[in-house]
A and B are shown apart, each in its own frame.
Chain A
């Protein structure tokens, strides 16, 4: 048992470190280090433009989309090399946010189902950051129940005509392409009538509208489709096979091993260390200590859980299911920590103005933003279902809509 690299891993790490040291945009290092949770921004530059420049440089140096084959813009690297790269990329990894959905979800789907021509045409530009991709899955009628989606695709000659609406699309406003799942047959049960496409986001009839969130920020979009035309050549997988295609996409979403989830623990520990209340230093209060200790072992538990997965990758094995707990632990923790910090601040905990609030208002921002952590990318409840069914082997829930033609499923309750 040790934390050491193998000789090959050490060699790879040294190479990556040297390249990053010579090429990273160091003028943003400090700002990136300080930026906290959620979407990041830079004061004097457009984060997407800075990200694109970094992505391009990486692609030129052979450090983009590491596990992809070289002919599609990758490096042909192993999964453990990708983890090592992420560790070395450090804060500059925050610049890759606009490209993560493309690299982790859209790219692998195109790789699995696209034609050879399409792969050579689209993937290298995705890898180099020239094109940004988004994922158009969730809908107002289908969040956790993705297969309940209603966006229609109807055949018209060699084209398909798309009508409907997607929601919660990250980055749609700056994306060049989108991976789109549609309903092509409402007369069969819901999982069977779906078909996957990719499309140019500049196509006529595509309208992107930002969503104003509960915390006042705008990080996601609604995307409306009005008679949008997509050539049949941009279909991924067979007609009616969209559900299976989407599983490829979503499986890749869960492979985010080594990516550190924000838990809020370092922030609350530092805060309690410094805060002095009328009863003395907060850290000397047994109630505070008890909470901190409980959170500390969750944070360390997540860290060492990811080390276990990394170790499996290092041995060339598939990581076990243990990594599936990450977001389920981190999400509620952020929310609890924010509320606890504000409680320690007393009446002044209500302030959000960074000039007025303790810790620059970071816990207030965390409180208002954290509900999304428990919803986006699988709600806490869906994640528990996944652990129960796929890890523990419990039977699936009884699905009353499973064998019913989609157009006969009730849409309102009572």
Chain B
């Protein structure tokens, strides 16, 4: 059994960690958080130069074609560093949708630009309150145009193009849904950033008013493509969450070693130790579930649907738990703007909702486990 990343992949992790420690320090995250920029352009350029944006994009489309295990490794480091860039929207969602369902022309047009950092992409799925569901998609396509509103759209106001889920039928079934590719710079779209719990990553509203939309994948196939995209993104975002959880645990541990109260390091009190031990437990469970997700993603295994849901749930729990308890270990200082604890707390709660909420994924997991049992 070799249920681990290879030495080369571990080297890539070290390389990514060093790069991000330099290019994405908390100061850079705060610049975006505090509205000085809508994303970190310098970092984005650097990620392109490192080849990280195209790590899972085949060479024929401008990527390095290294693979999904490599992308998982990079995702973990991005999560650890809270990288303030539209990586998830562009790479896990838009690029994956193109790779799964795009025509050769669409791939040729957009994937090289994603790899080189010239194009930012996103997925426009949600229409206000609620979880992924064919019924929740009201925006309708007619005559190659879209009209209606999508929100929240991650990185919607900085994206160059969006994959949009829209209605092409009214049977009340999944086959009503189709995907469209919209060039957001071609007119007919108004983008408006919206305030959100984690301003280090943008959320926006996209208002389409007769925007030109080209089909992505076959008509009526939208929901099945989306499901695959969401599963793949669930594994990748879970790695970001595990990276964040680990960093929050480290921050709590370091503070508990450093901070003296009642004449001793607070980390010598069992009340604090047990908080940190429980953080370690949740982070470890999440990491192990993520490894299984990585295996399923990289081999395109039939187990991916179940593995992705498990990784997603476990990693969401771990990051929320670790970020929350990191503040608790820090006490009052953890609740200051100055300390970085809130950056992780914000990110953990934003990522928890990024692909639909925890209860949505819990539902998915149970459905998938039952299907497996029935089979």
Interface residue ranges, B against A (CB under 8 Å): 1-6, 69, 249, 253, 256-257, 264-265, 267-270, 272-274, 276-278, 280-281, 284-289, 291-292, 294-295, 298, 309-310, 313-314, 317, 359, 361-363, 365-366, 369-370, 373
Contact = CB atoms under 8 A, between A and B. Distances in A.
A289 B284 contact: no
A392 B313 contact: no
Contacts of A3: 1-3, 295
A397 B309 CA distance: 40
A302 interface: yes
A301 B4 CA distance: 14
Given A308-B3, A325-B284, A387-B280, A301 B289 contact: yes
Given A3-B3, A308-B3, A308-B4, A329 B281 contact: yes
B273 A384 contact: yes
Contact of A294 (B6, B281, B313): B313
B1 A310 contact: yes
A353 interface: no
A300 interface: yes
A279 interface: no
Contacts of A303: 288
Chain B contact residues, majority secondary structure = helix
Interface stretch (A101-109, A155-163, A311-319): A311-319
Contacts of B289: 297, 300-301, 304
A297 B1 CA distance: 21
Nearest to B365: A293
A301 B284 contact: yes
The 9 closest A-B pairs by CB, nearest first: A301-B285, A388-B273, A293-B362, A304-B288, A384-B277, A394-B267, A387-B277, A297-B314, A305-B288
A290 interface: yes
Contact of B285 (A4, A297, A310, A387): A297
Given A3-B1, A384-B277, A394-B276, A322 B284 contact: yes
A352 interface: no
A293 B313 contact: yes
Given A286-B359, A293-B313, A304-B289, A311 B3 contact: yes
B280 A304 contact: no
A394 to B, nearest CB: 4
A293 to B, nearest CB: 4
A396 interface: yes
A5 B257 contact: no
A389 interface: yes
23 contacts: A1-B2, A3-B295, A4-B1, A273-B373, A293-B309, A293-B361, A293-B366, A297-B317, A300-B288, A301-B288, A302-B288, A305-B285, A307-B3, A308-B4, A308-B291, A312-B4, A314-B1, A329-B285, A384-B274, A389-B273, A392-B277, A393-B253, A398-B268
